[in-house]
Amino acid sequence: MDSSQIEMVENPENSHPPCNQWKNYVPDTSKLYKTPMRYLKVNFHIMQRADGSGNFDEEAAINYVNMLLWISNLTLESKNQKMNLPVGNNTEVLPPRYQYVLTPDPSIPNDDGIYFHQDEELYFMVSRGRDKDIFKKDVIHKYAIQKDEVINIFFMAHHADSLKAESYHGTDIGVALGTSVKLLGLKTNYDKPIDDTNTVFYREWFMQGLLNHEIGHVLGLSHSWIKHDRCPDTPPHTNCWNYSAPPCNHVSNNVMDYNVYRSAWSPCQIGIVHNNLSNKDSRQRKLLVKNWCDLDPNKTVKIRTDEIWDSSVDLFGNLIVENDATLTINCRVSIPKGGKIIIKPRGKLILGKTCLLENDCDDEWEGILLQASSKEKGKVISYGTPIFKNMKHSIQK
């Protein structure tokens, strides 16, 4: 490392590590290169009775899973809604910036990421009463595939004896357990009579709300009707399912509440998700498709005005600090294999005391190139001792 190319200055007052604050991960729609689209790996397990009954059959399950994924991703990509609460709010509507990818196990020939299990003891889930087993992980321990690297989603059934009782309602319900999710009653609701009022309500268009809710828990979100969910933009409320007499004349539509809509993510919630997905030590980051390793020149980031990066960033292309611009990096930045940071002659790169420049995939990135003109040269300034990992070359002129 050629430290002679770095101008060392005293650490500014009141500076502190900002890298794990959710507010720094809220997407800026003018700078989405700091919040790239994230792809979460998922698979699905259809639990059946020993004779194969009691849940979706193979053809229906495959169709249902693919439609559910498509609708869930569509909702995440383009259909985030304005928050209903608090009444009269001005909460910004931002893109959640994550998607789900059906992920086969590469060690299983012809695998498609959808699995069928005939198990008389574990096909069902009981959500209430003395035999309640919603929080048990037996089915996960037995059948999860690529556990801790893929979100395993289990379609559970209501017990056959329960469905025989006239007073029993085959309610859909879900629970997140670590990096796995159990969903109950999807097939029961799918089989209800279809008319103009419940086609959408009971089928995939409605169940995407349940799936997004439970995966929200996997990604670190709490129920948003409670007081201490860590988000100032999700007010506590009475958690009404739908509109009725007061206090249910105002109903939440937040994805992390229990409501019929489940179609809104707040900026804070999105910030928490991306904070977790950017944290190298988090369980959530291990669930990502690791697509930031190799250089894509078409995704070069050009800094044209002064910017401060107080969040960890995974770059997909080169990074260029243009003339008359200053980029301050206070956190971890991953540069793809073969990528470089280029500082134009009148550009400036400031490295904060918690700055780490690396390739997150243990490959080499080229290094920092200081471009020069006849009178000026790009500058690198440090407030401390920056950490460089996997950098092939010293800082070069």
Q: What is the pLDDT of residues 174-212, one digit of tens each?
A: 999 999 999 998 998 888 766 655 554 557 888 999 999
Measured between alpha carbons, how far is residue 98 from residues 220, 221, 245 in Å? Answer: 14, 14, 36
pLDDT at 171 over 50: yes
pLDDT at 33 over 80: yes
Lowest mean pLDDT among 110-124, 156-170, 322-336: 156-170
HSE-up of residue 39 (Cα within 13 Å, Cβ side): 7
Mean pLDDT of the chain: 92
| 3-class SS of residue 382 | strand
pLDDT at 302 over 90: yes
pLDDT at 17 over 70: no
Query: Average pLDDT for residues 127-145, to the nearest whole number?
Result: 90
Is residue 222 a contact partner of residue 214, using CB atoms and an 8 Å limit? Answer: no
Burial class (CB in 10 A: 0-12, 13-18, 19+), 182: buried
Distance in Å from the first CA to the final CA of the chain: 13
> Which fold would CATH assign to domain 37-278?
Collagenase (Catalytic Domain) (3.40.390)
> Residue 360 and residue 357: Cα distance in Å, rounded?
9
Q: What is the pLDDT of residues 38-92, one digit of tens each?
A: 999 999 999 999 999 999 999 999 999 999 999 999 999 998 999 999 999 999 9
Kindly tell me the sign of the dihedral angle through the C-alpha atoms of 340, 344, 345, 351: negative
Query: Average pLDDT for residues 306-310, to the nearest whole number?
Result: 97
Quick one: pLDDT at residue 1? Answer: 43
> Residue 112 and residue 92: Cα distance in Å, rounded?
38
Quickly state the pLDDT bin for 243 (edges 50, 70, 90). very high
pLDDT at 7 over 70: no
Quick one: pLDDT at residue 197? Answer: 55
Quickly state the pLDDT bin for 343 (edges 50, 70, 90). very high
CATH 3.40.390.10 residue ranges for the chain:
37-278
Query: Which residue type, as a one-letter code, is found at position 26?
Result: V
For residue 208, what are the contacts with CB-CB under 8 A and spacing of at least 6? 68, 71, 72, 75
Query: Average pLDDT for residues 114-132, to the nearest whole number?
Result: 90
Predicted TM-score (pTM) of the model is 0.93
